[in-house]
């Protein structure tokens, strides 16, 4: 399940583990030149506001409303970086380990290859996973 809470996307996988609840928020920053040089991360105003597309039914294209999801406003001079967090697991003294693959338009954001989605059944409900993460998740869910 995916929820929007306090400007964060909250994912929950209770069928895997109660602590399998990663969150993602989109931190605002300024764009840096695209000239193959390394720059320090510029200061940012904090998290971008996230809003349900449905809340703007009259102002977004019908296809976007059909698809649903969330949206965030940003200017062309702005950029974003993704802040990933997971819940703390006290008995292991570590955050819950999860593998996350980021894509946009079904294209991997790191390798620019098409994202292949496979399904893993775990005691009934289906969890959509990307290979090779399914094997790692099986190991993490059954320590």
Count each helix (H run) and each strand (E run) in the chain, helices first.
2, 13
pLDDT of residue 23: 92
Question: How much is the average pLDDT of 122-143?
Answer: 45
In tens, the pLDDT along 14-47 reads 888 888 899 999 998 888 888 999 988 787 888 9
Q: Find where tokens 């974003």 sit.
A: 80
Smallest Cα–Cα separation from 120: which of 102, 97, 140?
Answer: 140
pLDDT of residue 35: 92
Residue ranges per structural domain of the chain: 1-94, 99-143
Element spanning 86, H or E? none
Q: Find where tokens 């703007």 sit.
A: 56
Smallest Cα–Cα separation from 82: which of 70, 107, 100, 97?
Answer: 100
pLDDT of residue 115: 77
Mean pLDDT over the full length of the chain: 79
pTM above 0.85, yes or no: no
Tell me if 74 sits within 8 A of 28, measured CB to CB: yes
In tens, the pLDDT along 91-101 reads 888 888 888 87
Tell me if 137 sits within 8 A of 25, measured CB to CB: no
**Beta strand residue intervals within 23-76, DSSP E:** 23-30, 46-47, 51-52, 70-71
């Amino acid at each position: 399940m995916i929820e929007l809470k306090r400007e964060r996307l909250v994912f929950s996988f209770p069928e895997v583990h109660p602590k399998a609840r990663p969150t993602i928020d989109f931190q605002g920053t300024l764009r840096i030149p695209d000239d193959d040089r390394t720059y320090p991360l510029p200061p940012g105003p904090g998290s971008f506001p996230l809003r349900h597309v449905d809340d703007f039914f009259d102002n977004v294209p019908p296809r976007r409303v059909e698809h649903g999801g969330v949206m965030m406003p940003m200017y062309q001079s702005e950029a974003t970086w993704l802040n990933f967090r997971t819940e703390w697991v006290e008995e292991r003294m570590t955050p819950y380990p999860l593998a996350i693959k980021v894509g946009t338009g079904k294209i991997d954001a790191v390798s620019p290859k098409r994202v292949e989605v496979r399904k893993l059944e775990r005691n009934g409900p289906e969890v959509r996973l990307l290979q090779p993460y399914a094997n790692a998740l099986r190991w993490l869910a059954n320590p």
